[in-house]
Structure 1
Amino acid sequence: MISWLHHLVIYVRKYVNKLIHIPLPALVTGSNHLEDVPELLQRHGKSCVFIATDKGLMQLGLIKPLLHLLEEKGIKFYVFDGITPDPTIEVIEQGRCYFTENQCDAIVALGGGSVIDCAKGVAASVTKNKSIASLAGLFRVRKRLPYFIAIPTTAGTGSETTLVAVVTNSQQQQKFTVIDPCLVPAVALLDPALTIGLPRQITAETGIDALTHAIESYISKHATTLTRQYGLNAMQRIFSALPSAYDDGSNVAARNEMLLASYYAGAAFTRASIGYVHAMAHQLGAIYHIPHGRANAVLLPHILEFSKNKVIDKYAELAVLLGFIDKEESQPVQAQAFLGRVKTLLEQINIPQYFEQLQPRDIPNIATRAIKEAYCEYPVPKMMSEAQCQAILHKVSKV
């Protein structure tokens, strides 16, 4: 009965999704495009900007060129740098108050996924004049946000093109999502110069976050021809460019490819959704503050193996399309070639196989939360029980 209900809900949502227009942000790509920001703001009549970033980027000085450009053009700005990884309800509320007190009329978010998600939360909260907690779930904003430019400094979350903001409830040690097409930023500015020097570990983990988006959306029951094109585009770039970006952080071409991969993977999953890798990773992030990309990277091969018998044709298809194996080989051999190449990539960029923090006593609770998050929300190709989820978690526990 439960499985029947799950499939019915997924089926209905698949066709509802086709009726919902999800915009793509205007895309600005290439090095040294920060100078476009003042022009974009002035073109839209904006004169007082809320700058969302974090203290690490402030200390590195990455925000300074943008501030100088705004000063030169006489555009007033207020910098909110109190954003932390896994932004909380409290941080978003602080941002809302800061935006309102300074009568800002636009948002520029410069940072990783947490910064952009937090900025989305602030924008939604300001627009509705409500706490972000009250906007959790689907389509509770439904109003145009302040003019929003997203400038990612990592290549992984795809938040610059998604309709999702992930928020942490620190009291309950849980994450929740705010989902609405109006959360898609007006502009995504992808400048590889801003990712030069990104630490190797962050490069690796955020890159696999993008790969996870691309794969989970590709095998999703909500996948369409368009989302699979986006996902394939992202995977082609990631398998080619991620090792280069990891080995040489100053490789501008590889950095640019990874930003584009993150963007297209985000476009794919925001339309076709995600799966159990994310459902489990969200719990690990909320409880242990494990970086989201790392959580995805460790879990990915296990979930791919779990789903194999239901999507062997898709794995085989990807292996051929990505040039991993000849199209004349048998489907099982092709599928194994895809799984093998994923594992090889993880090894190349030194992704760990275990979570040091994961305690066996927490596994039942994590599994319960993950299965609850995914149920009727994520159009996974193969349903997972709590016992199966626990078994996978035990595999990745160091203890």
Structure 2
Amino acid sequence: MGEGGVGITLQICSFTAPTKIISGVDARKTVGTEVKSLGGKVVFISTDKGIVNAGLLVDILESLSKESLAYVVFDEVETNPAIDIVEKGLQVYRNEECDILLAVGGGSAMDTAKAIGIMVNNPGPIGTYAGVDKYPCAPPNIVSVPTAAGTGAEILSTAVITDRVRNCKISVSGAGQSPRVAIVDPLMLQTLPAAIAAATGMVTLTHAIEGYVSLGSSELTDLLNFKGVQLAAKYLRRFVANRRDLEAATGMQMACLYAALGSSNSGLGNVYAMANSLDGHFNILHGIACAVLLPAVMEFNTMACPDKFIEIAGCFGENVSGLPAPEASLKAAVAVRKLVKDIGLPAGLREMEITEKQIVQMSRDAIGSGIYKTNPRETNLMDMIKLYRESI
């Protein structure tokens, strides 16, 4: 194991990073130029009313107008977007004869845009294309402008849509689905509520940690995911305290990008499988689900890769000097529990009175998703049930 947790192996690795990234203060003002360069003429904007009311579209719409681009604003995106929202947006896209998608918001706006894009050129309900590369025709081009630092959806190929009938999440991924351009501007984060900054930050940290310890990790993904852990450990508290702190905002945006690039190539683990199931059943913020589940899963995984968890503990300033490896590795989970408390997120969900029957069903859904397969420690249904019990 080398410095920063990166060792050299001779394994065959694959790495994909299809999105052009433009970052920095006022980067949002380049939207019009980038959309026009992709051949867009009528822009479908996927966003929510909070973004509109906060005035975050003003400079973006001005940039589009400067390039003589027409646009329609679809501001009905919701947290954990459901199939009906996708279908409604698709109808607007077709009625307005749009030819390019612009997602402005958090992961929900990105997921909605990607799902609409799939449906533009492919018949049938979105659930038809659950999985990887299930749709035959590529979607239109997408440009993304994130207003949070969380999932990294601005550069990822996956859309996650909620099926309210079955109380589950549908994950659709495939070629051409990643945004062609991601425009990352720290000024877009200034109006983010502290609670949302905390929740989205925990998604970033979960990506980074799970990606770093994943069975699918490589030298390149380790570099990216470990840097994501370092930046989140350094800046998340500070960013939650003041979203107008441009250094902290930029630090969290970079943590998000590093973790998204790394974990999308390494794979994730139990937390993500369980969090998707939890917020699919109860419609809670994905970041809260991650915050509740991450410490217990970290403890569960320490015996599989103690050295990596010791390095994670070091990112948070935990003193592990002189401790045996098993004890030192557990300090990582201790540090994350402290962080969750400091940024005001819940340590459990007892007030929701989740039943044993629901825990069993969520565990089955988590296993069924397959996401857990790159978890560093082998996990079965009973393990999932126990982890849910310990966490919530």
TM-score normalised according to structure 1 size = 0.89
Q: 1:142 to 1:189 in 2, by over 3 A?
A: farther
**Secondary structure of the corresponding residue to residue 343 of structure 1:** helix
- 8 Å CA contact retained: 1:196, 1:249: yes
Query: Which residue of structure 2 lines up, in the alignment, with residue 74 of structure 1?
Result: 68
1:306 aligns with 2:300: yes
Letter in 2 for 1:165: A
Return the offset for 1:262: 0.8
Return the offset for 1:47: 1.2
Tell me how far apart the structure 2 counterparts of residues 232 and 182 of structure 1 sit (CA, whole Å). Answer: 28
Tell me how far apart the structure 1 counterparts of residues 98 and 214 of structure 2 sit (CA, whole Å). Answer: 39
Return the offset for 1:299: 0.6
Tell me how far apart the structure 2 counterparts of residues 158 and 335 of structure 1 sit (CA, whole Å). Answer: 27
1:133 aligns with 2:127: yes
**Secondary structure of the corresponding residue to residue 23 of structure 1:** coil
1:368 aligns with 2:364: yes
Query: Residue deviations 1:154-185, cap 9 Å, x none?
Result: 11111011121111111111101002242211
Tell me how far apart the structure 2 counterparts of residues 251 and 120 of structure 1 sit (CA, whole Å). Answer: 31
Query: Residue deviations 1:65-117, cap 9 Å, x none?
Result: 21222223321001111211111122112222221222211111000101101
Query: Which residue of structure 2 lines up, in the alignment, with residue 116 of structure 1?
Result: 110
Query: Residue deviations 1:294-351, cap 9 Å, x none?
Result: 0001110011111111121221243457764577764335423333322222222122
Tell me how far apart the structure 2 counterparts of residues 379 and 388 of structure 1 sit (CA, whole Å). Answer: 15
1:84 aligns with 2:78: yes
- 8 Å CA contact retained: 2:203, 2:286: yes
Structure 1, 280-289 or 343-352: larger mean CA deviation = 343-352
Query: Which residue of structure 2 lines up, in the alignment, with residue 392 of structure 1?
Result: 387
Tell me how far apart the structure 2 counterparts of residues 225 and 322 of structure 1 sit (CA, whole Å). Answer: 22
1:234 aligns with 2:228: yes
Return the offset for 1:143: 4.5
Of the candidates 173, 176, 181, which is equivalent to residue 182 of structure 1? 176
Letter in 2 for 1:374: G
Query: Which residue of structure 1 lines up, in the alignment, with residue 375 of structure 2?
Result: 380
Tell me how far apart the structure 1 counterparts of residues 97 and 55 of structure 2 sit (CA, whole Å). Answer: 26
Of the candidates 347, 357, 365, which is equivalent to residue 353 of structure 1? 347
**Secondary structure of the corresponding residue to residue 34 of structure 1:** helix
- 8 Å CA contact retained: 1:164, 1:270: no
What runs of 5+ residues in structure 1 fail to find an aligned partner? 1-13
Q: How does 1:1-399 map to 2 (within 5 A)?
A: 18=13, 22-141=16-135, 143-320=137-314, 324-325=318-319, 330-355=324-349, 356-361=351-356, 362-374=358-370, 378-397=373-392
TM-score normalised according to structure 2 size = 0.91
**Secondary structure of the corresponding residue to residue 182 of structure 1:** coil
Letter in 2 for 1:306: F
**Secondary structure of the corresponding residue to residue 294 of structure 1:** helix
Tell me how far apart the structure 1 counterparts of residues 131 and 17 of structure 2 sit (CA, whole Å). Answer: 19
Query: Residue deviations 1:342-366, cap 9 Å, x none?
Result: 2222222122111122412422212
Number of residue pairs matched by the alignment: 380
Letter in 2 for 1:379: T
**Secondary structure of the corresponding residue to residue 158 of structure 1:** coil
Structure 1, 220-229 or 55-64: larger mean CA deviation = 55-64
